[in-house]
Amino acid sequence: MASVGRMTRVGKYELGRTLGVGTFAKVKFAKSVETGEGVAIKILDKEKILRHKMVGQIKREISTMKLIRHPNVIRMYEVMASKTKIYIVMEFVTGGELFDKIARNGKLKEDEARKYFQQLINAVDYCHSKGVFHRDLKPENLLLDANGTLKITDFGLSALPQQVHEDGKLYTTCGTPNYVAPEVVKHKGYDGAKADLWSCGVILYILMAGFLPFEDSNLMSLYKKIFKADFSCPPWFSTSAKKLIQRILDPDPLTRITIQQVIENDWFKKDYQPPHFETADINLDDVDDIFNESRELSDMVVERHEEKPVAMNAFELISKSQGFNLGTLFDKQMGHVEREIRFTSKLPADEILSKIESAAKPLGFSVKKHNYKIKLEGEKPGRKGHLAIATEVFEVAPSLHMVELRKSKGDTFEFHKFYETITTGLKDIISKTHVETSGSVRT
């Protein structure tokens, strides 16, 4: 795969397209030059980490991922470092986020929700047995592989045993408000296992209901609902599922059900399949080496410069399509809410990007261009901060380009509202065949 502007090789991996961008890191797809296997590589900037005094957190995340060997947790293969970057090589899964599945299809049937919940509880219970608490469990941090198996990711907020206070509690407030346990917000110390289980209960509710149990535009009103466990189950929940959720979403951690009690619950045990996973002795001594200047990989980082859009091969094109159905790659499906949107164009790449820039600026977005990529950022904050959109042009064929707009920060629904607005200014660049077929580009 040719890269936009440059192709970088790190160790035995050739870096490709960007999968996601965060404040301190970006995640790129990469391919092993030895086996052809696809992986995800999290790239962290050492200078930013040192400037924000996050060395401890990064070491914790890497240590956590090395400790966990479970079929329902994203696997970390290896860690490498150059003078300026840290490269965390992880398992790459192609099924997307569980969030997208819910947003796309709405609530799940109870049996399917139970299957995902069983996998989630299996993984969380295993992490706890290693003394690891996730502390930010939510559908966005739950991925699906090609077989539909759930995989927990993003241990950036996880806590290891050494963070636990001498009274056995954690004292750092973190997590996402709608999913966070009441005792975490109260700043009085909390049991990491009980707090994680509360988040699992919120996730189970969402899987079965299609919406959040606790939601309010006012943060204090939201917390009041959480403190009182002010929620109700929809009528389609079975009686046994309702009872289990009510026992998990108990605002008092002392009377809240435990994970072991959940596993023994009759509703949970239906069609239950215990996990099979390997055990291994994990050495964490090398985690400190990633900040050791004497152990650099700079001689293994190779860059080649090319001035053209990404050349996308057939496999990559198909892998971006749900269910390997190319028809769904460009066509609209009603009610489909995703973090990225794509369309095709027969115009030259430079003209496509120029049109996008012209359409975005009047909507209050700043524009940063780099070769065949554009980063758009909203000047006004939205529900979840400033909306940021990464745009990239891929060359499918000499006369055909695919354009991908991917939300990198902010609210998903605001992203789709932005796209619906900007589409008016892009009508002359979107291939008419796809617009006529579906009535609109895919959202």
Catalytic residues: 136
Q: In one letter, which amino acid is 116? A: Y
Q: How many residues are present in the chain?
A: 443
> DSSP readout, 148-187?
--EEE---TT-B-GGGS-TTS-B----S-GGG--HHHHTT
Could you count the other beta carbons within 10 Å of the beta carbon of residue 79? 18
Q: Would you state the structure tokens that stand for residue 116, as one six-digit string?
A: 């995902």
Query: Across the chain, which distance is largest between two alpha carbons, in Å?
Result: 66
What is the residue whose two structure tokens read 């028809």?
327
The distance in angstroms from the start CA to the end CA of the chain is 26
**What is residue 102's three-state secondary structure?**
helix
Residues 6 or more apart in contact with residue 81 via CB below 8 angstroms: 46, 87, 289, 290, 291, 295, 296, 297
CA distance 109 to 329: 26
| Residues in CB range of 19: below 8 A, 6 or more apart | 27, 28, 29, 40
Task: Provide the 3-class DSSP secondary structure of residue 345.
Answer: strand
Query: Rounded CA gap, 308 and 373, in Å?
Result: 11
Q: Which residues, including other chains, have CB under 8 Å from residue 151's CB and lie 6 or more apart?
A: 72, 73, 74, 91, 93, 142, 143, 144, 145
Known binding-site positions for ATP: 42
What residues does 161 pair with on adjacent strands?
none
Answer whether 126's CB lies under 8 Å from 70's CB.
Answer: yes
Q: What is the CA radius of gyration of the chain?
A: 23
Burial grade of 323 (CB within 10 A; 0-12, 13-18, 19 or more): exposed
Per DSSP, 97 falls in state: B
